Homo-oligomer: A and B are copies of this chain.
Amino acid sequence: MSLDMKLPEFLAHAIALEHEAAERYLELADMMESYRNDEVASTFRDMVRYSRLHHDSIVERAKGIALPTIRSWQYRWRNPPEVGGEEAFDPKLDTYEALRYARENELRAKEFYAQVGAEAGDAEVRSLAEEFAAEEAEHVQALDDWLARTPRP
């Protein structure tokens, strides 16, 4: 599919992506807290905050623009690969898996934004998308740093 999006379509995606990210980081933060892993919990809480700030600023930008409906699979995080298949109902992710899960989804968001940045005909969409891709790249980097100092289970 072409990712040559118009502004309303792009903003709708970005709002949904950031909302989803905030929800998932909140969940991961709570989970890390239940493991008494306060350091990683606090990183995830920072990411909740960034996602919400970003979300709110995009909502602000979208004021007065009629946004299209976005399908859930266009923005939802995947399930962690560790809990796929038979074990889909297993609630546990260890710290390493949680970080990797977050990383995978951030990378997916980054790639989405980067692709829109490369393919959009609208100059404002291109410029916003490139900016958002750079932000996501920073998140991926932050998660990589955490992964590098987290023991693999």
Tell me the A residues contacting B by CB distance below 8 Å. Answer: 1, 3, 13, 23-24, 27, 30-31, 69-74, 76-80, 83, 87-91, 93, 108, 112
Contact = CB atoms under 8 A, between A and B. Distances in A.
A79 B73 contact: yes
Among the interface residues A23, A73, A76, A88, which one has the most CB atoms of the partner chain B within 10 A?
Answer: A73
Contacts of A70: 91
Given A13-B89, A73-B83, A89-B112, 7 more contacts: A3-B89, A23-B72, A24-B72, A30-B69, A74-B83, A74-B90, A74-B91
B30 A89 contact: no
Which 9 A/B pairs are nearest by Cβ-Cβ distance?
Answer: A73-B79, A1-B90, A71-B91, A74-B89, A73-B83, A1-B87, A74-B91, A73-B80, A89-B112
Nearest to A3: B89
10 contacts: A1-B89, A31-B71, A72-B77, A73-B79, A74-B83, A74-B89, A74-B91, A76-B76, A76-B79, A89-B112
